[in-house]
Chains A and B, each alone.
Chain A
Amino acid sequence: MAELFYVLLQIGIFVLISPLVSGVIKKVKAMTQKRKGAPVLQLYFDLTKLLKKQAVISDKASWIFKASPYVVFSTAIAASLLIPVTTFVVPGRFSGDIIMLVYLLALGRFFMTLSGLDTGSTFGGMGSSREVMISSLMEPSILVSVFTMGLIAKSTSVYDIMEMMQSGNVSLTHPVFIMIFLALLIITLAETSRIPVDDPATHLELTMVHEAMILEYSGRHLALMELGASIKQLVFITLIVNIFLPHDQLITYTGAMGIILSIAIYILKVVGFSVLMALAEVSTVKFRLFSVPNLAALSFMLSFLGFLQYFVFGR
């Protein structure tokens, strides 16, 4: 029963909050550019409209093209289940750890890139090829950073890591956490296809990566793709905020009140973090594709140094 509640809660929050995040980011960017910008809830409207629209499918495409939106979406959902938004609802025997999280997202990416290749358009292939390169280069630093966190918590499950961070016996300002936080920040930018790695706002074939892959999509498929992407983005954000800014230990209430409070704080954190991301985004420029490896190397070095800091040089 508890598990069912957990699952519903997670899915509900992620599906409902994730478009908001994108909205907030867009809004903040617009404001920094002295524009009015679209309303914060714009993405919700888009999604509902897209769902209503008729889907135009390339006649070159195969069933892969139609299947992959669902796969992308549901992998995002499955991934979202591995990152509790609050420690008040215990995932209990529901299982899956941080490594599985990485490989689940990889599954989604696999199909997305395939769909890019499926229509035989030039853009799709370009997007897929770039996506594959970027993600492969980012993979090591993701795994190393989550691994390090796991090692500190002596468990690879996110829940345990969160509890470890909440229990006051580690100081959040310890260099290892700072480094890994930065590493994960870079990863998030890369994985959610944001500047400086990719520009979600452009459709210029020289620069686009993620957009190039979903260029051929329309209607409900596009909606699912978008939603999946934003859920994935929220997954990363949640990972960061819930690990590095633990809050549940501040809440004294228990039971339903506690849950509600904690979720409220969680949402606040997410919004705040998305503002942060937006600022980071506007303050940088997009890199050349072949300077992305340097970025990856940077994030890898950060996480690796974090590991060394904790396990080799000692606490």
Chain B
Amino acid sequence: MLLWILPLMAVMLFGAIKNNKILHGLSVFTSAILVVSGLIITLKVIAEGSYEFNLFYVDSISIIILDIVLIIGFLACVYSVGYLEEEIKHEKILPGRLRLYYILLHTFLFTMILALSVKNMGIMWIAIEATTLASTFLVGFYNDKPAIEAAWKYIIICSVGIAIAFLGIIFLHLSSAGTIDSTQILDWTVLYGKAGSLKSPILRLAFIFIFIGFGTKAGLAPMHTWLPDAHSQAPSPISAMLSGVLLNSAMYAIIRTLAIVNKNLGTSEFTGNIMIAAGLLSIAFAAVFIITQKDYKTLLAYSSIEHMGIIAFGLGLFTPLSVFGALFHMINHSLTKSMLFLSAGNILQKYGTREIAKINDLLKTLPVTGGAFLLGLFAIAGTPPFGVFASEINVIISVFEKGQIIIGMIFILLLAIIFAGIGVTLFSIFYKNSSVETPPPRGEGNIYGSAVILLLVGVISITGLYMPVSIFTLLNNARNIIIGG
């Protein structure tokens, strides 16, 4: 319950406080407490399998993503301290707007926590819609032309998508009409429990609309169009949260529905076709758009689309291994990608440009960030021994386990092409290149940020080789819940 109240309190407080120092401190402090309480709940869930009182409900699925949210949120808060100070120093933003920033940030955090920890799908929908509303101004925070444009596209497209998703929710409700009494309408646990007795034709319709709707928010092609703009225009900590966290929580809604639908239909074929198609399409889009990308934040955004595609692909296969891989991939992707966005933020502040062609000698100029960025790129492109590879290989294996060799080939080749694209476009920035203008003086600007980045690098390079047993059990339980095994 603390999880819900705390951020709200924080938001209230932010409203009152003027002093920036205290604002920083408070935000870090609250998010830290959130992390701690999240961990407590995690232990409960590991022990008991699920943890709920009236509306509040977390089980293994949600706790995984919830923890990601809390941790990334915390790190983003820590990072923001240094980042915003820099921005203020360079008059990118006025000191006064700090308050707005933190208010929005924590509202955003709250809505996501809410979305991930309620039992009722309707409220989940509301919360996810609310995430859009909360983050719109964060996307448009810089208040210049591109930022406004990105924000507008973001809110319009996502709202429409969410609306479609609501249509799906209605049908979900409709399919349960008669089997469920009015007190527990849209209660996920009940729906899941009684999945067998729901009306499958309507459920299919429901799934379609929910997939399209939340798929929009999760940035699956062809509804992904808002994503590159929003990610590239938002302040870097926000980009990190968008792609590391927001996409996951949208994907989480899809997972919940998927579990019900597949349990009801008894086969994953209907859902699988759509999700695999969308997944491959997203990866293909990303591949095409990465090969000749000029802007590194946009490039990272497209890579997020790619990884969402991989997750959707894994869920679509719906074998135990692939679902496990997909969930695991969520973790790896969030950690790696937010790390990349944070370091991209440092680079942006150092060089003052988002154009790849204008950056060089990164490894010398920003030793920590640069190194982290290079490793992170290898990681995100799926090179062993990083975490992303470990989860991707699970997905890949499960494709071939299913005997769908052609699809598997396409999948692997697309991933390889994306690696090539990243290599072609981005590797040049790390080394000295006399043809480009001389880099700015060396030295890390944002100390907190660098610390966070280093931490994340350490984590992602471990996750590829070793996984704590607790996480393993969590993932397993989640997997079992989803595939009903």
Q: Does a CB–CB distance below 8 Å link A and B in the complex?
A: no
